[in-house]
Amino acid sequence: MSLRHSIRFARRGVDAPPDAFYTSSVTVTVPGPPEPRATAHPLAGKTTTAIGVMLALLAVPYLAPSLARFRVVRAPWDPGTEGDLANAADARTSSPQLTQGETTLKASKNEATVTNALPETSPPTAKALDARALAKTKGSLAVEDETGHALDAFYGSLAKTRAKEKGAVTRIMHYGDSIITSDYVSGTMRRKMQAELGDAGHGFILVANPWEWYFHNDVAHGAGEGWSSSRVTGPTTKDGMYGLGGVTFSGALGASAFFGTAERGNQGKKVSRFDVYYLDTPSGGDVEAKLGTTTETFSTKGEEKISRIKSFTVPDGEAKLVLRVMSGSPRLFGVALERDEPGVVYDALGANGARAELLASINPKHLADQMALRKPSLVILQYGTNESEAPGLARDYEKTLSGVVATIKAAAPNASILIAAPLDRAETSEGGGLRTKPLIKQLVAAQRRVAKESGVAFWNTFEAMGGEGSMAKWMKTGLGGGDLTHPTPQGAEALGDLLYKSLTTGFEAWISVHPGAGK
């Protein structure tokens, strides 16, 4: 007969999150009293039993790091003393169990020493955080930056914004195809970044909907009849002047459009300035701007084609701007809703059916003029879905994409550039199952090479989703659409969250080596 003593304790895994625990146990078999009529073993007495229980209890602290302080001697596998554990990179133990009671303290004085006081100034070389490790802890994938400085302009602007410097507005321009046209991904990014760093306004909106798919979250917008448009995706315009969003609008007499703060929800409820982006042209005319009971007319007529902004200031809060064509044929691009507060502005500049090469059709000088008016801190280029419609990767794809990057660099020399890879795209295999479209992986690899050679940042959307076969998996969980290409709204939210975590953890890593930024 024997007695079994079970001792159970909780232990957190080394790489588990703080709230993740699992239960371990150790069972000690202790010899009990001798069976009747059997000859007792010479060592099977009360003394031996007591020694066995004591040894078992002494062994327990060596099974869990959190019980290390109860160990009698240091084991060979112990990383070191309590101080050593604090410096070990992989020492992630749970909080010690506190005991109740009091400790008698000696007399003391608040004196600074090298071990308990902050330095008078920041050290010349701060310990750099690992952006990849930070992104991984958030469940995302880090931005790739071969130069180590591709996002300096963006992160420098974010530092000033976070420090709430006067006029510190960080503008992000996100170019892409249909997922950005519908404010997928960009809408989530806007909400999260503004919640974290400040709401400086919704950003740029096209005059009217050039595609049925066109939509923006957290803003009121609409247009009447009388507008015509030319688009980078066709039909195009001869002069290549499409404004910021790749679409130029001409209004007939009486054509109108309105732009305002959101009518529902808690997002996008404030604006303090409406910026109307337009083009002076010989055929231009007058446009009426109405704000509440106040009206003002401005002219878009000029001898030369020149990019301009007409601004209207309102008290910070809910407001609505109505534009109406009064004469001529004004050429407008869109309206930006902004606030005179430190924060983030996020422009969703998607075009249905767009490919990266179409940006090259924009007049370079015109694009530079538009960028000079907008002053972006970061330009994101996210294409590839429509390129994957081709039977194979175009021979000059990398050359074309490199040219587009060079054009953006020249147009926005003070902005960082990020190439974001396309989403995974599924197709039916010969066996009837779903697989990743092979061209997607080729496009991702080509974009990564272009980013490296051009010295810009790269984010692998494909891998962030899960890589090979991820769209098929997303469909099963309600994140992927039935067309095997687009995400559902829930999937778009997940993608926006992944990109947000990637950029913000990258920012924290950048701050660790630029401790004075924004101060």
What digits encode the pLDDT tens for the residues 320-362? Answer: 999 999 999 999 999 999 999 999 999 999 999 999 999 999 9
Please report whether residue 113 resides in a domain.
no
Higher pLDDT, 286 or 110: 286
- Angle of the 152-162 helix axis to the 186-197 helix axis, nearest 10: 50
Residues 350 and 322 in one domain: no
- What's the mean pLDDT in 266-288? 97
Residues 79 and 148 in one domain: no
Instruction: Flag whether pLDDT at 275 surpasses 90.
Output: yes
- Evaluate whether 300 touches 328 at the Cβ level (below 8 Å): yes
Q: Give the total number of structural domains in the chain.
A: 3
Confidence of residue 372 (pLDDT cuts 50, 70, 90): very high
Please report whether residue 330 resides in a domain.
yes
pLDDT at residue 70 in the model:
53
- Evaluate whether 323 touches 332 at the Cβ level (below 8 Å): yes
CATH number of the domain where residue 320 is located: 2.60.120.260
Report how far apart, in Å, the C-alpha atoms of 163 and of each of 127, 131, 171, 448 are: 21, 21, 16, 33
Contacts of 43 (CB under 8 A, 6+ apart): none
Using alpha carbons only, what angle is made at residue 26 by residues 99 and 45, rounded to the nearest 5 degrees?
100
Amino acid at 431: G
Residues 43 and 72 in one domain: yes
Q: Does the pTM exceed 0.85?
A: no
Residues 335 and 349 in one domain: no
Report how far apart, in Å, the C-alpha atoms of 33 and of each of 45, 55, 57, 155, 263 are: 7, 19, 20, 73, 81
Instruction: Flag whether pLDDT at 160 surpasses 50.
Output: yes
Confidence of residue 24 (pLDDT cuts 50, 70, 90): very low
- Evaluate whether 178 touches 167 at the Cβ level (below 8 Å): no
- Evaluate whether 426 touches 491 at the Cβ level (below 8 Å): no
pLDDT tens for 191-212 read 999 999 999 999 999 999 999 8
Residues 353 and 332 in one domain: no
- Evaluate whether 232 touches 178 at the Cβ level (below 8 Å): no
Instruction: Flag whether pLDDT at 399 surpasses 90.
Output: yes
The 8-class DSSP code of residue 236 comes to: -
State the residue range of the domain holding 314.
204-209+218-340
pLDDT at residue 130 in the model:
79
Confidence of residue 516 (pLDDT cuts 50, 70, 90): confident
- Cα-only R_g, the chain: 31
Instruction: Flag whether pLDDT at 113 surpasses 80.
Output: no
What percent of the chain clears pLDDT 70, i.e. is strictly above it? 75
Residues 326 and 233 in one domain: yes
Confidence of residue 49 (pLDDT cuts 50, 70, 90): low
Please report whether residue 28 resides in a domain.
yes
CATH number of the domain where residue 459 is located: 3.40.50.1110
What is the dihedral sign for C-alpha 258, 259, 265, 271? negative
Residues 328 and 390 in one domain: no
Higher pLDDT, 188 or 44: 188
- What's the mean pLDDT in 428-435? 89
Instruction: Flag whether pLDDT at 125 surpasses 70.
Output: no
pLDDT at residue 80 in the model:
41
The mean of the pLDDT values for the chain is 82
Burial of 71 (0-12, 13-18, 19+ CB in 10 A): middle
- What's the mean pLDDT in 32-48? 47
Please report whether residue 158 resides in a domain.
yes
